[in-house]
């Protein structure tokens, strides 16, 4: 019982530490941002910097008159949908120590395949989106088989392969779209419009793109977490990620798990592509890599490869994006600043020793309390036995 | 009289980031030119105390004085500059580099700019190797050399760096009796030259033989300092464990049953063309403990590797209950009921960043009893793991603690607990009690005997001659990749006879050796 309490206390301490550390990293990044804005501004620098920071920090939440900006909030949440999926995909693959960067091409392929279904396959409402998304998942799984099997059977670097695969997929889609599938009546290159019953319905009807896709994404967060921490396959994935020799020696089929992790990552990215495409668009028009895969990598790293933290990380990225967007629209701050900000935050998150002293103090305090409690308990017990013997 | 101490650690407390107080208010003093033993059970805090003296960990509170001067050992580099060297419990060598390169790592003799001067490195290695009589092969890659040689490389590494105060964290855990004797001669030699040695070991006879004084730790606290000549081995184990320990295992005579493991004409030539296994044939039966004794590097490691597909032989066959196990996946080997306690626990034995629980279920994660449909049955996993932790006295806060935060001996217990508990029909135990304290050694030995009497076949490889001789029902000696001798009954064997066979001075006739095939 006592041990359980101690474990809980330790967990609480480490959570406190993570939060404090995250806040400190963000604080420092903001400071850097403030300095940069201040330096680059003209006119009333102080006021300008203040306004810019206000936009960045709370712009996504409040209008300038102080009322809550529901539309902006919905935009932020909507922006999380694809990056949650790519974040999850990357989590699964990175957990297995497979540095597969194919979520980018994966989400594009998934979007494309589901769009094909949405345009050409006449299925009833309710069935079509499900089939389209599942087809997307299957297609991207097959795509990921390429780097996965090459890695498992021949030991070829999955990183290089998947990276190149992204471009192969992109140009393939571009070619198909431009030459065979484009709707020639439109001014830009895009597919024919989706059938109405293919669309994923909005969650709130306010012109934002917050669809049921958001709920689906959250469901997949739970599913992926359960899979990774509560099933033997997810366990296998994590074990080969930690020590592959150990996994093999323990009797796990390492090659199969290497493949499984990437195929599964592919499926998640594919679903993400489908959900995003059918939720946000009415025809397919992506002509370049959408960037969600890259963001997904950042999300996964911020989440420490733990699916449960993916929504948090995705929210953070989406919020930051929105804030920077507002900052550049209303205050003319260059949007490149977002890159600098992200980089600074990243560096502090990734630096293991950042605030390590603070953690040590927390821990020591905890341990001292624990020892004191033990002593007190022992003394109490001794007193009790003494009392007992007196009686 | 503070000047007589070269090392003084005063009131040292160490709290690890996970909240474990590994040392609490420990005083530790070492005189110049003595061999000082540091003793205690697994997890008592010995390695922790020494890591602080070597600058690898920082004390939470307390002071360290070296040569009468208060020091702040913020890193190993500082400790080395104060003349402190350490041989770690787990190897700190770069496997892909050669012995010579490892020797000079970080103090590289450069020829021109960046590159290591190979020749100079080899020269240095050979010079020190000769001077301290520790034989190593300078040009071999570390990943290819046996554990015993790795240990010597570690010691030489510290000496090359000019250590005058040498910390040896369980240096003999993997050495054979001969190698240990040899090492001790050198340690005494070092002592006579004015070196100061701090020596950690779980082997009481070694402590009695070589040390001058000892400090005993228990549960992170110091139990006082003693002159070695004033205490008996029994008193020491009582101070460490808090009870009397019996290392003699009671076992009834084996009743060998059907053949389980059958090895015939196994041959292996390593990459330098050296024949490591030469027509090795033997059979192991149900309910029998077959020991393999031999000087490190005479084919034992290779034999075990072959049997668990960690390596592939050039010729020969091996079957378990009639089914081939050579060249098939570890998964299939395990399905046939084979367990392995590996020689190097850190390499295969554990996934360091995973929890104790995750490490303990590695070989059975697919079994029915731990799964409910597609999901893990967390309740029965917890129950099984908690039981194992209790049975094998793994010192930890809970099963969710990271396994690489455990002390060396407790990591070993995690491995042993897993390998012994999955209903094996054959256990290959390679140094099963390596680095385990007396109390737990007693337990593991008993467990091995118990399992074998219940019908498990046990192949026991150990560098500890006492251990093989005591535990085994029958015993073979390996020398030069061949089985040099086979003894059906170990009860009347003497160290001397064994020694002659191990060193290759004697060899049984092929007919005598052939008896181990039980045909
Ligand atoms: N890096 C670490 N992080 C957290 N806890 C640790 C770490 N290293 C050791 N511990 C804990 O500190 C305690 C003392 O460990 P230490 O390694 O000093 O024991 P030891 O006396 O060397 O034991 P052994 O004989 O098994 O090697 C143990 O309870 C262990 O779990
Ligand atoms: Mg230790």
Tell whether B62 is covered by a domain. yes
- Flag if A367 and B331 touch (Cβ within 8 Å): no
- Nearest CA residue ID for atom 3, ligand 1: B405
- ipTM of model over 0.85: no
Q: Mapped to the 3 state alphabet, what secondary structure does B199-222 carry?
A: EECCCHHHHHHHCCEEEEEECCEE
pLDDT reading at B386 higher than 90: yes
- Flag if A239 and B24 touch (Cβ within 8 Å): no
pLDDT reading at A33 higher than 70: yes
Joined tokens for residue A37? 């804005």
Claim to verify: residue B314 and residue B430 sit in the same structural domain = yes
C-alpha distance from residue A162 to each of A140, A150, A167, A173, A238 (Å): 12, 11, 9, 16, 20
The verdict on the CB of residue B45 being under 6 Å from ligand 1 is yes
The verdict on the CB of residue B22 being under 6 Å from ligand 1 is yes
The model's pLDDT over B441-455, given as tens digits with 9 standing for 90+, comes to 888 899 999 999 999
pLDDT class of B383 with cuts at 50, 70, 90: very high
pLDDT at B519: 81
Tell whether B249 is covered by a domain. no
Report the mean per-residue pLDDT for chain A.
Answer: 88
Claim to verify: residue B299 and residue B369 sit in the same structural domain = no
pLDDT at A1: 43
pLDDT reading at A9 higher than 80: no
Tell whether B205 is covered by a domain. yes
Claim to verify: residue B417 and residue B441 sit in the same structural domain = no
- Flag if B17 and A359 touch (Cβ within 8 Å): yes
Claim to verify: residue B164 and residue B21 sit in the same structural domain = yes
Q: Which of B366, B399, B422 is the last residue of a domain?
A: B422
Bridge-based pairing of strands B474-479 and B213-218 is: unpaired
Based on the structure, what is the number of domains in chain B?
Answer: 3
pLDDT reading at A48 higher than 80: yes
Q: What is the mean pLDDT of residues A356-365?
A: 71
pTM, 2 dp:
0.82
Joined tokens for residue B18? 């996970």
Distance CA A377, CA A384 (A): 10
Q: How far B21 CA lies from chain A's nearest CA (Å)?
A: 7
SS3 B135: coil
| B376 and B357 Cβ atoms separated by less than 8 Å | no
Q: What is the mean pLDDT of residues B50-63?
A: 92
- Most confident stretch, A21-30, A188-197, B504-513: A188-197
Claim to verify: residue B217 and residue B361 sit in the same structural domain = no
The model's pLDDT over B463-492, given as tens digits with 9 standing for 90+, comes to 778 888 889 999 999 988 999 999 988 877
Claim to verify: residue B333 and residue B265 sit in the same structural domain = yes
Claim to verify: residue B312 and residue B442 sit in the same structural domain = yes
What CATH number does residue B277 fall under? 3.40.50.300
- Nearest CA residue ID for atom 28, ligand 1: B43
The verdict on the CB of residue B439 being under 6 Å from ligand 1 is no
- pLDDT exceeding 90 applies to what percent of chain A? 56
Claim to verify: residue B35 and residue B172 sit in the same structural domain = yes
Higher-confidence residue of A89 and B147: namely A89
Distance CA A89, CA A102 (A): 9
- Flag if B351 and A363 touch (Cβ within 8 Å): no
Claim to verify: residue B400 and residue B430 sit in the same structural domain = no
pLDDT at A354: 65
Range of the domain at B366: 349-422
Tell whether B362 is covered by a domain. yes
**H helices present in B287-425, as ranges:** 300-307, 330-335, 356-360, 378-391, 408-420
Q: Which of B210, B241, B272 is the last residue of a domain?
A: B241
| B422 and B412 Cβ atoms separated by less than 8 Å | no
Claim to verify: residue B117 and residue B34 sit in the same structural domain = yes
Shortest-distance atom of ligand 1 to CA B57: 1
pLDDT reading at A278 higher than 50: yes
Distance CA A93, CA A103 (A): 10
What sign does the dihedral A320-A324-A327-A333 (CA atoms) show? Answer: positive
The model's pLDDT over A204-260, given as tens digits with 9 standing for 90+, comes to 888 888 999 999 999 999 999 999 999 999 999 999 999 999 999 999 999 999 999
Claim to verify: residue B132 and residue B17 sit in the same structural domain = yes
* Cβ-proximal residues to A130 (8 Å cutoff; 6+ apart), any chain: none
Residue that the structure tokens 């993997």 belong to? B174
Distance CA B180, CA B480 (A): 20
Report the mean per-residue pLDDT for chain B.
Answer: 88
Tell whether B250 is covered by a domain. no
pLDDT at A391: 45
pLDDT reading at B317 higher than 50: yes
- Most confident stretch, A145-154, A362-371, B113-122: A145-154
Claim to verify: residue B197 and residue B152 sit in the same structural domain = yes
Higher-confidence residue of A47 and B2: namely A47
| A235 and A257 Cβ atoms separated by less than 8 Å | no
Tell whether B342 is covered by a domain. no
- pLDDT exceeding 90 applies to what percent of chain B? 48
Q: Of A94, A367, A370, A373, which to mutate for an interface test with B (greatest number of B Cβ within 10 Å)?
A: A367
The verdict on the CB of residue B407 being under 6 Å from ligand 1 is yes
C-alpha distance from residue A365 to each of A13, A370, A371, B58, B402 (Å): 10, 9, 10, 16, 21
The model's pLDDT over B245-262, given as tens digits with 9 standing for 90+, comes to 666 777 788 888 899 999
pLDDT at A265: 97
Bridge-based pairing of strands B371-372 and B338-341 is: unpaired
Q: What is the mean pLDDT of residues B349-361?
A: 95
**H helices present in B105-254, as ranges:** 118-131, 147-160, 177-192, 204-210, 233-241
pLDDT reading at B8 higher than 90: yes
The model's pLDDT over B70-123, given as tens digits with 9 standing for 90+, comes to 999 998 989 999 999 998 877 888 888 889 888 888 765 555 555 567 788 888
B21, B43, B409, best to mutate for ligand 1 pocket (most atoms within 8 Å of CB):
B43
The model's pLDDT over B157-215, given as tens digits with 9 standing for 90+, comes to 888 888 899 999 888 776 777 778 878 888 888 888 888 999 998 888 888 889 999 99
| B204 and B237 Cβ atoms separated by less than 8 Å | yes
Q: Which of B367, B388, B422 is the last residue of a domain?
A: B422
């Amino acid at each position: 019982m006592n041990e359980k309490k101690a474990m809980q206390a330790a967990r609480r301490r480490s959570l406190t530490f993570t939060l404090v550390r995250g806040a400190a990293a963000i604080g420092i990044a903001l400071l850097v941002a403030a300095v940069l804005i201040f330096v680059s501004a003209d006119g009333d620098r102080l006021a300008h910097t203040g306004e810019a920071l206000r936009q960045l920090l709370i712009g996504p939440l409040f209008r300038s008159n102080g009322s809550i900006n529901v539309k902006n909030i919905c935009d932020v949440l909507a922006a999380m949908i694809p990056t949650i999926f790519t974040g999850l995909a990357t989590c699964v693959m990175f957990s297995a120590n497979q540095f597969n960067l194919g979520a980018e091409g994966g989400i594009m392929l998934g979007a494309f395949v589901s769009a094909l279904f949405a345009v050409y396959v006449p299925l009833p409402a309710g069935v079509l989106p499900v089939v389209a998304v599942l087809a997307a998942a299957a297609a991207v799984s097959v795509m990921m088989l390429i780097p996965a099997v090459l890695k498992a059977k021949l030991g070829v670097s999955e990183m290089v392969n998947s990276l190149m695969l992204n471009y192969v997929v992109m140009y393939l889609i571009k070619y198909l779209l431009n030459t065979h599938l484009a709707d020639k009546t439109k001014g830009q290159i895009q597919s024919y419009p989706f059938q109405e019953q293919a669309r994923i319905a909005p969650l709130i009807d306010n012109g934002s793109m917050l669809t049921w896709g958001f709920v689906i994404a959250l469901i997949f967060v739970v599913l992926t977490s359960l899979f990774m921490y509560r099933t033997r396959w997810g366990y296998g994935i994590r074990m080969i990620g930690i020590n592959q020799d150990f996994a093999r020696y323990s009797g796990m089929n390492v090659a199969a798990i290497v493949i499984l992790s990437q195929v599964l990552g592919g499926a998640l990215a594919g679903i993400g592509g489908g959900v995003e495409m059918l939720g946000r668009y009415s025809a397919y028009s992506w002509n370049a890599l959408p960037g969600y895969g890259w963001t997904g990598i950042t999300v996964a790293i911020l989440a420490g490869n733990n699916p449960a933290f993916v929504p948090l990380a995705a929210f953070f990225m989406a919020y930051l994006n929105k804030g920077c967007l507002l900052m550049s629209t209303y205050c003319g701050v260059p949007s490149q600043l977002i890159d600098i900000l992200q980089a600074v935050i990243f560096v502090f998150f990734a630096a293991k020793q950042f605030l390590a002293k603070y953690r040590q103090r927390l821990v020591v305090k905890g341990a001292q309390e624990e020892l004191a409690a033990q002593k007190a308990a022992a003394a109490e017990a001794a007193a009790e036995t003494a009392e007992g013997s007196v009686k | 009289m503070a000047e007589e101490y070269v090392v003084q650690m005063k009131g040292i407390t160490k709290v690890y980031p996970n909240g474990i107080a590994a040392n609490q208010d420990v005083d530790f003093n070492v005189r110049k030119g003595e061999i000082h033993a540091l003793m205690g059970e697994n997890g008592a805090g010995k390695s922790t105390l020494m890591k602080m003296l070597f600058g690898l960990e920082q004390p939470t509170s307390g002071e360290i004085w070296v040569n009468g001067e208060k020091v702040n050992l913020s890193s190993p580099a500082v400790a080395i500059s104060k003349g402190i060297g350490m041989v770690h419990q787990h190897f700190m060598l770069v496997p892909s580099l050669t012995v010579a390169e490892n020797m000079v790592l970080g103090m590289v003799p450069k020829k021109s700019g960046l590159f290591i001067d190979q020749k100079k490195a080899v020269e240095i290695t050979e010079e020190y190797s000769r001077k301290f009589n520790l034989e190593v092969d300078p040009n071999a890659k570390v990943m290819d050399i046996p554990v015993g040689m790795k240990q010597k490389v570690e010691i030489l590494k510290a000496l090359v760096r000019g250590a005058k105060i040498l910390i040896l964290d369980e240096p003999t855990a993997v050495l054979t009796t001969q190698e240990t004797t040899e090492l001790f001669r050198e340690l005494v030699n070092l002592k006579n030259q004015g070196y100061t040695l701090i020596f950690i070991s779980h082997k009481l006879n070694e402590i009695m033989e070589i040390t001058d004084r000892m400090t005993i730790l228990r549960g992170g606290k110091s139990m006082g300092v003693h002159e070695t000549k004033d205490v008996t081995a029994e008193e020491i184990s009582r101070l460490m464990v808090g009870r009397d320990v019996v290392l003699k295992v009671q076992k009834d005579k084996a009743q060998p049953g059907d053949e389980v493991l059958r090895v015939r004409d196994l041959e292996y030539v390593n990459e330098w063309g050296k024949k490591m296994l030469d027509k090795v044939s033997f059979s192991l039966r149900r309910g029998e403990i077959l020991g393999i004794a031999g000087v490190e590097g005479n084919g034992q490691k290779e034999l075990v590797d072959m049997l668990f597909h960690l390596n592939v032989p050039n010729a020969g066959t091996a079957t378990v209950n009639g089914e081939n196990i050579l060249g098939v996946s570890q998964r299939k080997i395990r399905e046939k009921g084979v367990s392995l306690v590996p020689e190097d626990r850190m390499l295969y034995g554990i996934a360091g960043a995973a929890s104790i629980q995750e490490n303990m279920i590695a070989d059975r994660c697919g079994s029915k009893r731990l799964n409910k449909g597609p999901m893990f049955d967390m309740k029965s996993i917890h129950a099984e793991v908690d039981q194992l932790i209790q049975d094998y006295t793994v010192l930890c806060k809970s099963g969710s603690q990271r396994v690489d935060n455990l002390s060396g001996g407790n990591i070993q217990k995690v491995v042993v607990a897993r390998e012994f508990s999955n209903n094996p029909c054959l256990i290959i135990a390679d140094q099963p009690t390596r680095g385990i304290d007396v109390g737990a050694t007693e337990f593991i030995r008993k467990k091995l005997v118990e399992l074998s009497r219940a019908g498990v076949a046990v192949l026991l490889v150990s560098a500890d001659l006492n251990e093989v001789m005591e535990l085994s029902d029958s015993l073979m000696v390996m020398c030069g990749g061949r089985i040099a001798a086979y003894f059906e009954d170990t009860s009347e064997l003497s160290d001397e006879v064994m020694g002659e066979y191990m060193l290759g001075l004697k060899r049984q006739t092929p007919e005598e050796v052939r008896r181990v095939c039980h045909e």
